[in-house]
């Protein structure tokens, strides 16, 4: 199980919360829907300054209590390091 920070912007509102999920799309979607069903989420009204035509959901993996955007760094193989000079 991994922890994900989820941000939702929709219809002039914003919500931010964490969910625990397996690292696959279906599990993450189900975790988000379960959290929304709990009705314990605080929605912030953004007002008319936010375009209601731009609705989106983003998520980031949480590592050591901090959101970590993007893929985790990987080690370089020796072939990549040596191959550039040959």
Is the pTM higher than 0.85? The answer reads no
pLDDT at 74: 44
CB atoms within 10 A of CB 59: 18
**pLDDT value, residue 70:** 56
Domain spans in the chain, listed from the N-terminal domain onward? 2-69
Sheet holding 44-45, edge to edge: 44-45, 13-21, 2-10, 56-63, 66-68
* Res 76 pLDDT > 60: no
Measure the CA–CA gap between 44 and 9, rounded to whole angstroms: 9
pLDDT digits (tens, 9 = 90+) for 6-50: 999 988 889 999 999 998 889 999 999 999 999 889 999 988 777
């Amino acid at each position: 199980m991994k922890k994900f920070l989820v941000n939702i912007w929709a219809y002039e509102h914003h919500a931010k919360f964490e969910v625990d999920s397996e690292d696959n799309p279906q599990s993450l979607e189900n975790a988000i829907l379960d959290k929304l069903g709990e009705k314990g989420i605080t929605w912030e009204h953004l007002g008319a300054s936010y375009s209601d035509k731009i609705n989106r959901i983003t998520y980031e993996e949480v590592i050591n209590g901090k959101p970590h955007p993007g893929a985790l760094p990987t080690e370089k193989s020796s072939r990549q390091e040596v191959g550039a000079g040959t």
